[in-house]
Structure 1
Amino acid sequence: MKALFKRVSTWQPLKDFINFYKSSELSLSSIAVAYYLLLSIFPLLLILANLLPFLNLDTDLILDVLQDQVPPQIYEMSVGFIRNILENPSTGLLSVSVLAGFWTFSRALATLQMAINKAYEVSQHRDFILSRIIGLVVGLGLMILLSLTILISTFGQVTLTFIHDHIFAFDNSLYRTLQTATLPVVIVVVFVSLILLYFVLPNVKIHKLRYIMPGTIFSTLVFVALPNFFGVYLGRALSQMRDFKLVGSLLIFGLMIWFIFIAKVLIIGAVLNATYQKKYFGQIETRRGEIVGFIKDIRK
């Protein structure tokens, strides 16, 4: 037993993993990423609220559903506000919300990028222009896609059932098809998004895609498996709540914990990738600073 423990403790990949893990500053970095992700929810909600009037939704039908689902006191206080949102769009507020959402998401992405670079033990991402153009635009799009996919995997079944039971009772065969198709679509989208995310964000020359497969596979399995349990638990907990303020507080707290968890999984995935690349390639090289060099790295 002692011999086995000694062999494991002196195994070079394990030592590399521990070193990369320590350099990533996982706890601090994940909290910072989660903080900006949580801030981004509020402008995203404002964007959604300002887009709803353009969908020509039946306001009375939505209010009837809310009246059946929320306490009477809450409904009386919010009915005027909800009707105003659904019937009176505000383009000025929409523009401000888009800018605020872009800023908070870009800050979350920049913090995640710094953590991943720390995990690889490399300097900050290329030059300023390349970091903003490629790192933010591509990475921001992937983060939004990944976040939406994770939310769908977490709350998709609950939302689909709610729509089918209370808003639009579409055909049962279509309902079953959508239920069964959710998971495969989520797996593919998450897997592809993570490949691109781990390839674009770090200031590291990725010589082959297999060098980012360990972190991609690990993160995909976690994001696909655990959100279902989280969604079921949260749905049951909220169904037993009657205090609207308590529900809101618990929801915000739950989202913060969930975002911290997401950030930690992504950073640990980068640590796995760094460990794998160092084991099988022998060294970790930074990318060239110029845009042409980055494009050449993509073509390889």
Structure 2
Amino acid sequence: MRLLTLCYRVVKDAFYRFLADDGWAIASHIALSALMSLFPFLILVTALGGLLFGSAQLADQVADILLQAWPTEVATPIAGEIRRVLLGARSDLLTIGSVLAIYFASSGVESLRIGLNRAYGVIESRSWWLLRLESIGYVLIGAMGLLALSFFIVLAPLMITTAVRYAPSLHPLWSLFDSLRISAAAIVLIVALFIVHKWLPAGRRRFVTILPGIGVTLVLWLIAGELFGDYLSNFANAYVSYYAGLASVMVALVFLYTIASIFIMGGELNAAILRWREAQKAPLEATEAAES
């Protein structure tokens, strides 16, 4: 009972701080920035794929990984638009536009930084250009990491085929290949959450202090994805009636807005737990100071 009361107080504190920190407004900023950053990021991935691996088609695999965790009703129309953009892009545009793509993609990282700085109640003291360079570094590392992962996914069938040829008993490995994309998407999500909570906002936090918010974020993302998918399967026509040709974009924005709100709430939950721990330490420190 005491534990439930404590959890209720911490969650209540996190929610009210979420409201005080303009969490809904920041979530809308993150959602719009994420959607605007998605296409430039994939253009960058296409350019890097051609440069590093000699294949621009790996961008399709990266898009599949990024959209794997999205509800099918949201991911399908966005995936179609992504493929249309990537197939229509000329090689010279991929080279020239990569510079701008890096900058625009890094804006999505900056929106996450703003949200977490608000959630953790920290003030950013670093120069704006240093922050932008850091965000660009995250974008490049993320792009190369996803390319390497995509290359492995493309290479995996060849590896399995070769292994089965020499050892037929390994044929059941094919059943594991279908879950490879889902596993890759889960790994990308978890690693990304740890990176952004640990190093993106100002200040430093231990891994143990960010675990609760990350765990709650992942669980709520899964629940939100299922509920949003069910909602769209029944009421998708409403978006078509309201927004016509922009329906797919609006559906993606609403979904990203929901996901961003949960993301910020995860940071607020971590901050609320840290405030509770500090409040518990204060009387003990005061007692020790009085005794000394």
AA partner of residue 99 (structure 2): L
Q: Does 1:90 align with 2:91?
A: yes
| Deviation, structure 1 residue 104 | 2.4
Question: Match for residue 20 of structure 2?
Answer: 23
Match of 2:263 in 1: 266
Per the alignment, residue 34 of structure 1 pairs with 31
The 1:175/1:221 distance shift into structure 2, 3 A limit, reads farther
Aligned residue for 2:94, secondary structure, equals helix
Paired with 1:175 and 1:266, the residues of 2 have a C-alpha distance of 35
1:8/1:14 contact within 8 Å kept: no
Q: 1:132 to 1:264 in 2, by over 3 A?
A: same
The SS at the match of 1:122 is coil
1:114–1:124 contact (8 Å) kept in structure 2? no
- Distance change in 2, residues 1:211/1:49 (3 Å): closer
What is the letter of the counterpart of residue 31 of structure 1? Answer: S
| Rounded Cα–Cα distance in structure 2 between residues aligned with 1:142 and 1:227 | 27
Would you say how many aligned residue pairs link Structure 1 and Structure 2?
222
* Distance in 1 of aligned mates of 2:56 and 2:116: 43
Structure 1 residues 139 and 173, CA gap change in structure 2 (3 angstroms): same
Q: 2:45, 2:233 → 1: CA distance?
A: 22
Aligned to 2:194: 195
Cα drift, residue 8 of structure 1? 5.7
Paired residues of 1:34 and 1:259 also in contact (CA < 8 A): yes
Identity, % of aligned pairs? 20
CA distance in 2, matches of 1:102, 1:268: 28
For residue 106 of structure 1, give the secondary structure of its aligned residue in structure 2.
Answer: helix
**Paired amino acid for 1:13:** V
Cα displacement (A) at 1:175 = 5.5
Superposition CA RMSD, Å? 4.5
**Which residue in the other structure is 1:70 paired with?**
none
For residues 1-300 of structure 1, what are the structure 2 equivalents within 5 Å? Answer: 13-14=10-11, 16-44=13-41, 46=43, 55=55, 85=87, 89-91=90-92, 93-128=93-128, 130-134=130-134, 136-137=135-136, 139-140=138-139, 176-206=175-205, 208-227=206-225, 246=244, 249-282=246-279
Say which SS state the counterpart of residue 195 (structure 1) adopts: helix
Code of the residue aligned with 1:209 in structure 2: it is: F
Q: Once the 2 structures are TM-superposed, how far is the Cα of residue 55 of structure 1 from its aligned partner?
A: 4.0
The answer to whether the 8 A contact 1:142-1:193 is kept is no
Distance 1:236 1:177 in 2: 32
* 1:72-117, Cα deviation, whole Å (9 max, x unpaired): xxxxxxxxxx8x957x9422x1134323332222222222212211
1:79 is aligned to: none
Change (3 A) 1:191 1:173: same
Are 2:209 and 2:274, in contact at CA under 8 Å, matched by a contact in 1?
Answer: yes
> Compared with structure 1, are the counterparts of its residues 23 and 143 closer, same or farther at alpha carbon in structure 2 (3 Å cutoff)?
farther
TM-score by length of 1: 0.57
Q: Which residue of structure 1 aligns with residue 285 of structure 2?
A: none
For 1:202 and 1:56, how far apart are their aligned partners in 2? Answer: 33
Cα shift at 1:221? 2.0
Structure 2, unmatched stretches of 5+, are: 58-83, 151-170, 281-292
Q: Check conservation: 1:194, 1:216, Cα contact below 8 A.
A: yes
**Partner letter of residue 207 of structure 2?**
L
Q: 2:79 is matched with which residue?
A: none
Q: Cα gap change, 1:18/1:249 in structure 2, threshold over 3 Å: closer, same or farther?
A: closer
TM-score under structure 2 length normalisation = 0.58
Larger RCO (alpha carbons 8 Å, 6+ apart):
2
* Matched AA of 1:204: G
8 Å CA contact 2:212–2:269 kept in 1: the answer is: yes
